[in-house]
């Protein structure tokens, strides 16, 4: 099957909107491959923090992104043979990822890596610009959103469950700051892609959101 004919479902949205959980479950249900594009930025951020890379040095950060040795193995994220699934979820890493994602050179360095995940029988890709930039011709594009309060609550639970300390007030401020950076950056801002289905999950659980995405896909896959 030509790569251009391999089906892609894109699920974009702000931090803690639930897109990762929904995308992963949809991929499992359909037997599709899964791409957590945000993890690639977090991996770049983690690498930069560990190496002491100047976070204002766009060129150095882009070189780090270009040479990432990473893979997704089941539910684990591997960086240079180390399982960093939990490490990349730390707030410092997330905030750093949001900042370096504003650099055009970093985004460009990761494009080829992201496109390479499009393999038969299909791909579910989640992130900020999967439908608007990376896979603009995907047959189904979803924009998952939720209120800041709902997202902060989910993020708080996620961090506590993983053993990290968390403060709700700080999380609200961080999410608002990330939203502002993501929606107002000059390159690939966080916006619903043209033709995207917008799904507000503020009052929905993950199962309900997954069912809705699968219904949308079933309607176009006939």
Which pLDDT score is estimated for 211?
98
Going by the annotation, the residues of the binding site are 13-21
Going by the annotation, the residues of the binding site for ATP are 13-21
Which pLDDT score is estimated for 33?
92
Full set of structural domains in the chain with CATH: 7-221 (3.40.50.300)
Whose tokens are 């968390």? That residue is: 166
Which pLDDT score is estimated for 13?
93
Write down the pTM of the prediction: 0.86
Residues in the chain where the model's pLDDT stays below 70: none
Whose tokens are 């961080």? That residue is: 174
Please count the other Cβ atoms lying within 10 Å of the Cβ belonging to residue 108: 13
Which pLDDT score is estimated for 124?
97
Sheet with strand 76-79: strands edge to edge: 70-73, 76-79, 82-83
Which pLDDT score is estimated for 171?
93
Which pLDDT score is estimated for 71?
84
Per-residue pLDDT tens digits for 108-161: 999 988 998 999 999 999 998 999 999 999 999 999 999 999 999 988 988 888
Which pLDDT score is estimated for 123?
97
The radius of gyration of the chain from alpha carbons, rounded to an integer in Å, stands at 17
Instruction: Quote the tokens at residue 54.
Output: 């100047």
Which pLDDT score is estimated for 163?
86
- H helices within 67-147, ranges in order? 91-100, 104-115
Which pLDDT score is estimated for 85?
93
Which pLDDT score is estimated for 172?
93
Which pLDDT score is estimated for 158?
84
């Amino acid at each position: 099957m030509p790569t251009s004919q391999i089906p892609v479902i894109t699920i974009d949205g702000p931090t803690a909107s639930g897109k990762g959980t929904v995308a992963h479950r949809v991929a499992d249900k359909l037997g599709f491959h899964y791409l957590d594009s945000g993890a690639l930025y977090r991996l770049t951020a983690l690498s930069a923090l560990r190496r002491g890379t100047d976070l204002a040095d766009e060129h150095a950060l882009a070189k780090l992104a270009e040479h990432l040795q990473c893979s997704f193995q089941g539910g684990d994220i591997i960086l240079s043979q180390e399982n960093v699934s939990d490490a990349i979820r730390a707030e410092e890493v997330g905030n750093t990822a949001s900042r370096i994602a504003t650099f055009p050179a970093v985004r460009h360095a990761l494009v080829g890596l992201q496109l390479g995940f499009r393999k038969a029988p299909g791909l579910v890709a989640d992130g900020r610009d999967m439908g608007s930039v990376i896979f603009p011709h995907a047959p189904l594009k979803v924009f998952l959103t939720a209120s800041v309060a709902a997202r902060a609550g989910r993020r708080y639970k996620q961090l506590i469950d993983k053993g990290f300390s968390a403060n709700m007030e700080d999380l609200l401020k961080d999410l608002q700051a990330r939203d502002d950076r993501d929606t107002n950056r000059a390159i690939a801002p966080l916006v619903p892609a043209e033709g995207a289905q917008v799904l507000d999950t503020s009052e929905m659980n993950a199962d309900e959101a997954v069912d809705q995405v699968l219904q949308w896909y079933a309607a176009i896959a006939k």
